[in-house]
């Protein structure tokens, strides 16, 4: 891979100057053939225990982090989204293998970069190194917030807080774009339990279920805000 071109591609990526639906339109001429990869929903992006030879930069879509242990199969421990750099934490901590499976939750676009090339670039280019630190900072903050939610909240409260934040960020009326199955995976809540929570929250005036869609209007949002607006994570 041409180092100068790869640096240019990374700058485009970190500055979000690419189309997440079709990143190849800006990046294909700058990166090595085969390094831009599309994964369909439920395809495995990274295999647990495989050697850390590549970083996988998530350009579009979202994915589940699954840690399989002998007594709990397919345990979803986290979700990732653009611009997470998968494998970077293992590499920086000198881990020889990936510590979990990464599975596409939806259509995902990935830039696969050999670890040695990426490592060399960020050691030589201060701007790209700083932007990599910014990615790590955001990921660390997100992980800390999720850990706090898991420690402090009952799963139903975690759901309520998530819906409040999404409605606050995107505006009301807010329609949840995720399927219930995808939301259950994202929040690590059993799907049947999630349906019970939705029914209970609808009865309490926290949301509306319309033709299978979860909708939060201004009245619902005010009710959610009474409970969640003062929470700082």
Give me the DSSP letters along the chain: --HHHHHHHHHHHHTT-S-SS-THHHHTTTS-TT-EEEE-TT-EEE-TT-B--EEEEEEESEEEEEEEETTEEEEEEEEEETT-EETHHHHHTT-SB-SSEEEESS-EEEEEEEHHHHHHHHHH-HHHHHHHHHHHHHHHHHHHHHHHHHHHS-HHHHHHHHHHHHHHHH-SSEE--S-HHHHHHHHT--HHHHHHHHHHHHHTTS-EEETTEEEE-HHHHHHHHHHHTT---
On the question of pLDDT at 151 being above 80, the answer is: no
On the question of pLDDT at 72 being above 60, the answer is: no
Instruction: Give the pLDDT confidence score for residue 70 in this predicted structure.
Output: 44
* pLDDT over 70, % of the chain: 91
Instruction: Give the pLDDT confidence score for residue 149 in this predicted structure.
Output: 62
Mean pLDDT for all residues in the chain: 89
**CA atoms of 205 and 216, how far apart (whole Å):** 9
> Whole-structure pTM over 0.85, yes or no?
no
Instruction: Give the pLDDT confidence score for residue 71 in this predicted structure.
Output: 45
pLDDT digits (tens, 9 = 90+) for 40-59: 999 999 999 999 999 999 99
In this prediction, residue 232 has a pLDDT band, given cuts at 50, 70 and 90, of low
Mean pLDDT of 183-191: 84
Mean pLDDT of 201-229: 94
Phi-psi category of residue 94: left, alpha or beta, with phi > 0 → left and psi -120 to 50 → alpha: left
């Amino acid at each position: 891979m041409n180092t100068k071109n790869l640096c240019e591609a990374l700058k485009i990526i970190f500055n979000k100057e690419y189309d997440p639906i079709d990143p190849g339109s800006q990046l294909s001429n700058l990166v090595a053939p085969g390094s831009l990869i599309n994964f369909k929903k439920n395809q495995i992006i990274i295999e647990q225990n495989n050697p850390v030879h590549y970083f996988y930069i998530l350009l579009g879509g979202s994915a589940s982090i699954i840690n399989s242990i002998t007594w709990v199969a397919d345990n979803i421990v986290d979700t990732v989204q653009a611009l997470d750099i998968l494998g970077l934490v293992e590499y920086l901590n000198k881990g020889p293998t990936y510590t979990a499976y990464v599975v596409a939750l939806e259509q995902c676009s990935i830039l696969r970069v050999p670890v040695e090339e990426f490592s060399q670039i960020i050691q030589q280019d201060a701007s790209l190194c700083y932007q990599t630190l910014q990615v790590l900072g955001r990921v660390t903050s997100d992980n800390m917030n999720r850990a706090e939610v898991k420690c402090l909240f009952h799963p139903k409260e975690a759901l309520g807080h998530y819906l409040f934040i999404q409605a606050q960020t995107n505006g009301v009326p807010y329609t949840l774009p995720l399927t219930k199955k995808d939301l259950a995976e994202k929040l690590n809540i059993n799907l049947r339990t999630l349906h019970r929570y939705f029914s209970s929250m609808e009865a309490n005036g926290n949301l509306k279920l319309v033709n299978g869609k979860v909708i939060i209007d201004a009245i619902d949002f005010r009710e959610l805000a009474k409970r969640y607006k003062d929470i700082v994570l």
